[in-house]
Amino acid sequence: MRAVLGIRRWRRNPLCRPTDRHEAWVALVALLLMLVAAPTLGRLCGTLTDDALQRTVRAQHAQRHLTTAVVIREDSGVPRFAHDPESAVAEDTTRTSVVARWKAPDGTDRTGRVATASRVTAPGARIRIWTDETGRAALRPMDASTAHTHAVLAGVGVTLLAAGLVESARRLVVWRMMQRRYTRLAEAWAETGPDWGRTGTGS
């Protein structure tokens, strides 16, 4: 930051080396990219992600149906859907695996292993489950707020990633400039070093 703030002062400073001004300009460009370009890119990514997820939300709500299933018996195996990874809020993690029977949208009977958070899982108990268009047990459809949360996180992630890449590029450019500076100093020293301090040198 000091390099950026000192650009105006260094332009008229006879002790300022050209490489110092170049480093300051590189720092200024990097700062502008991190403050303007990175957030803009993150916002664009978040908007596109939100649009895509909202289409997914509408499709899932159109294709999945909430229905009532009747518990046949409790089951110790792993259910087809033990949890909902698309949920943005904490849910009751105490879920019971049961074998249940329900009707598909076409009216046919379906039987399968599902997970339920209901505390009443005795045979004959009624539980609510989600099914797809064919009647198979499915995950609860994603809601709009969850999709928006995922989109915001994607936008923030892209912003941070872009800012990190800009800073890495700035460090790489400055490192290359310093290497070139050291190379020039070594070459200059190789030319004048052997005569350094000798009486009459340069006369």
Q: What is the pLDDT of residues 148-202, one digit of tens each?
A: 999 999 999 999 999 999 999 999 998 998 888 888 878 777 777 665 555 555 5
61-95 residue pLDDT tens: 999 999 999 999 887 765 555 344 444 444 445 77
Which pLDDT value is given to residue 51?
A: 97
Q: Where are the alpha helices (DSSP H) in the chain?
A: 2-5, 7-10, 18-32, 38-63, 144-192
CA separation for the pair 141, 148 (Å, rounded): 14
Q: Give yes or no for residue 105 having a pLDDT over 70.
A: yes
119-135 residue pLDDT tens: 888 899 999 999 998 88
User: pTM for this structure?
Assistant: 0.67
Q: What is the average per-residue pLDDT within 9-17?
A: 56
Which pLDDT value is given to residue 116?
A: 86
Backbone angles phi, psi at 93, to 5 degrees: -80, -5
Which pLDDT value is given to residue 41?
A: 96
Cα angle, residue 82 at apex, residues 77 and 88 outer, rounded to 5°: 170
Q: Taking the CB of residue 175, how many other CB atoms lie within 10 A of it?
A: 10
CA distances from 165 to 32, 37, 41, 47 (A): 13, 12, 13, 21
Residue type, 167: E
Which pLDDT value is given to residue 85?
A: 42
Which pLDDT value is given to residue 60?
A: 93
Residue type, 66: L
CA distances from 28 to 34, 171, 184 (A): 10, 13, 25
Q: Give yes or no for residue 117 having a pLDDT over 90.
A: no
pLDDT band at 17 (very low <50, low <70, confident <90, very high): low
More confident residue, 8 or 48: 48
CA separation for the pair 80, 127 (Å, rounded): 16
Q: What is the average per-residue pLDDT within 23-32?
A: 88
Which pLDDT value is given to residue 184?
A: 80
Q: Give yes or no for residue 45 having a pLDDT over 90.
A: yes
CA separation for the pair 48, 36 (Å, rounded): 19
Count CA atoms within 13 Å of residue 89 on its CB side.
7
